[in-house]
Amino acid sequence: MKGILVVGHGSRSKEAFEVFNSVLNNFKLKVAENVEGCFMELCSPNMPDTIDIMYKNGVRELVVVPYFLFSGIHIKEDIPGILKEVKARYGDLKISMARPIGYNNLIADILRENAEGELTCI
């Protein structure tokens, strides 16, 4: 079975946690695969625990989708390092990683929408 793991950074902010879960739930409606979400730090669940659960539920092909804008240290080193450790435990688990959000024309539309929307005076 194929699964998709969306990895967010994590934050102490309740609002950040809620936004991540809203995005995740909307994403789940758009794909047929088993989708779970997790965090790199500061929030639960973490990557290894979430992958363990997905594996126990029959996932043998995992696509990791970083919910990050850029290819920083988490994308280049931390996530691949965790995935190598998981792969060592589950030899029959095929793991691949998607690129981070990066550039997309839709981001300019979001920025325009936000600039034209409700503003906070400083």
Which residues are catalytically annotated?
9
55 — phi, psi (to 5°)?
-65, -45
For residue 19, the tally of other CB atoms under 10 A from its CB is: 13
What is the token pair recorded at 39? 């965090």
- Which of 89, 82, 57 has the alpha carbon at shortest distance from 7? 82
- Nearest-Å Rg of the Cα atoms of the chain is 16
* 21 contacts 11 by C-beta, under 8 angstroms: no
Give buried/exposed letters for 83-108 (b at 16+ CB in 10 A, else e): beebeeeeeebebebeebeeeeeeee
